[in-house]
A = this chain, B = another copy of it.
């Protein structure tokens, strides 16, 4: 018996009270997720009495009772989850397809015997990769390296770029004795003064290599030694993008010019840029977008200067922008040299071009085949239920709703923006944002913040138009009553 029956777990129409609401008259599609609940249901404020507040912990959860888009806490509060564990739940909680996978005795061994994948992979691993990660490989890429988390993915991608760059530089000859002896004591030329270019507002992880390319919040970086690597400005665009094309193009041109200047400057400093790393949408940094043209130009600059181009899709990858990879929106055949991922992909890792193959990328586990097993099934569900189209549809409804709300509450909301359901909106100030996020949570809507005063929307791929309207109604109520 895989899925236990729950009270309130049934097909449902309009039972949820859409009172005082802008959206009450809208035709809400009846299609929703058949294994989940019929709406939020709050019993206490959150965190409730059974949640202890420790450090950064928000509240304790009852994952057994959580279903689909609904996260249930230890006090029995049931919340519509528009944040999904920092954007890492692809198809909702307790999806029947994933539970079924667990009940297949052929899969047990994959959970119980974790291999050292780099030396002793399971017989089935090549097929598992073909069914999972390689079936969604970005354009131009046929190779993938799994890793245990997002930070390790980026750390190892950086290493692959350094190794590739130095190999080029020494004409693919064997390293010198001096290279070999100096690297053992952290000195050049063995440990060369190479750099990775990143962007202000970027987030690429918190281990020491990643952290040198992360520039979203001081609290991430303070007190930790770093590298003198170049940091380019990320375009600060005006939204909606299509209303400000000329100003935005100017801003992007300014940033691209700075990118080239920095590449030259760092080469002259003796710290050449081996690779450029960028998010298709800066997430932690405040959901900052740039145009396809900006990314195409950046990719060309990287190629011109002999730098590898690394697209970090840890938060944007996996379908939430309406395409499986956000960089597919750029419309290029050859968009990147390296694409890293984690979160919704359930395993970390990176795709890379053949020439960035580095057999020296290695650690004990190098990923976890049990996560690839789940990913195969997630991809089956995405295909079977056409979830990318669903995301595009829900995303349009969400962004249109946010446009309406910011028109109605111009003193509170501004700069609605998004791609698919990967949306955000700015609040007038940080204090108001905190207040709205807490009110939303107590009304059964779980949201996250990003940047200095943005709210970010990161629902699962099964977040349907129905859920969009449910959210918009509650959110509208909160805004209407906000003082």
Residues of chain A whose beta carbon lies under 8 Å from any beta carbon of chain B: 1-2, 50, 55-64, 66, 71, 74, 85-86, 88-89, 93-95, 98-99, 102, 105-106, 108-116, 118-123, 125, 148-152, 155-156, 158-159, 162-163, 165-167, 175, 179-181, 183-187, 190-195, 200, 205-209, 212, 215, 218-229, 231, 342-343, 346, 359-360, 362-365, 370, 374
Separation in Å of the A264 CB from the closest CB of chain B?
19
Return the contact of A207 from the options B152, B162, B167, B218 (Cβ within 8 A). Answer: B152
Does A191 contact B226, Cβ atoms closer than 8 Å? yes
Does A155 contact B207, Cβ atoms closer than 8 Å? yes
Asked, given contacts A208-B158, A229-B186, whether A56 binds B119 with beta carbons under 8 Å apart, the answer is yes
Return the contact of A222 from the options B74, B179, B185, B209 (Cβ within 8 A). Answer: B179
Does A114 contact B98, Cβ atoms closer than 8 Å? no
Closest to A271 in B: B225
Chain B residues with CB under 8 Å of A209's CB are 207-209
Chain B residues with CB under 8 Å of A85's CB are 114-116, 120, 364
Return the contact of A121 from the options B60, B158, B195 (Cβ within 8 A). Answer: B60
- List 14 additional A-B contacts (Cβ < 8 Å) besides A151-B207, A191-B224, A209-B209: A55-B359, A60-B122, A60-B125, A63-B115, A88-B114, A88-B116, A102-B111, A159-B208, A165-B223, A183-B223, A186-B212, A190-B221, A208-B208, A225-B227
Chain B residues with CB under 8 Å of A181's CB are 218
Separation in Å of the A59 CB from the closest CB of chain B?
7
Separation in Å of the A401 CB from the closest CB of chain B?
26
Closest to A62 in B: B123
21 A-B pairs with CB atoms under 8 Å apart are A55-B118, A57-B120, A60-B120, A61-B122, A63-B109, A66-B113, A99-B108, A99-B112, A111-B111, A112-B374, A149-B364, A151-B207, A159-B223, A180-B222, A183-B224, A186-B227, A190-B221, A190-B222, A191-B222, A207-B209, A209-B209
Return the contact of A112 from the options B58, B98, B118 (Cβ within 8 A). Answer: B98
Does B120 contact A88, Cβ atoms closer than 8 Å? no
Asked, given contacts A63-B113, A121-B61, A151-B207, whether A56 binds B363 with beta carbons under 8 Å apart, the answer is no
Chain B residues with CB under 8 Å of A111's CB are 102, 111, 370
Asked, given contacts A94-B112, A98-B112, whether A207 binds B206 with beta carbons under 8 Å apart, the answer is no
Does B88 contact A231, Cβ atoms closer than 8 Å? no
Does B71 contact A120, Cβ atoms closer than 8 Å? yes
A400 to B371: give the CA distance in the assembly, Å.
42
Chain B residues with CB under 8 Å of A57's CB are 118-121
Asked, given contacts A86-B116, A215-B185, whether A363 binds B162 with beta carbons under 8 Å apart, the answer is no
Return the contact of A155 from the options B74, B167, B208 (Cβ within 8 A). Answer: B208
Does B158 contact A148, Cβ atoms closer than 8 Å? no
A86, A106, A346, most chain B CB atoms within 10 A: A86
Chain B residues with CB under 8 Å of A105's CB are 1-2
Asked, given contacts A88-B114, A108-B102, whether A162 binds B225 with beta carbons under 8 Å apart, the answer is yes
Chain B residues with CB under 8 Å of A212's CB are 186, 208
Return the contact of A364 from the options B88, B113, B155 (Cβ within 8 A). Answer: B88
Return the contact of A94 from the options B109, B186, B190, B343 (Cβ within 8 A). Answer: B109
A58, A116, A186, A360, most chain B CB atoms within 10 A: A186
Asked, given contacts A57-B121, A215-B184, A365-B149, whether A162 binds B194 with beta carbons under 8 Å apart, the answer is no
Separation in Å of the A456 CB from the closest CB of chain B?
14
Chain B residues with CB under 8 Å of A175's CB are 218, 222-223
Chain B residues with CB under 8 Å of A58's CB are 119-120
Which 3 residue pairs spanning A and B have beta carbons closest together? A208-B209, A186-B226, A191-B226
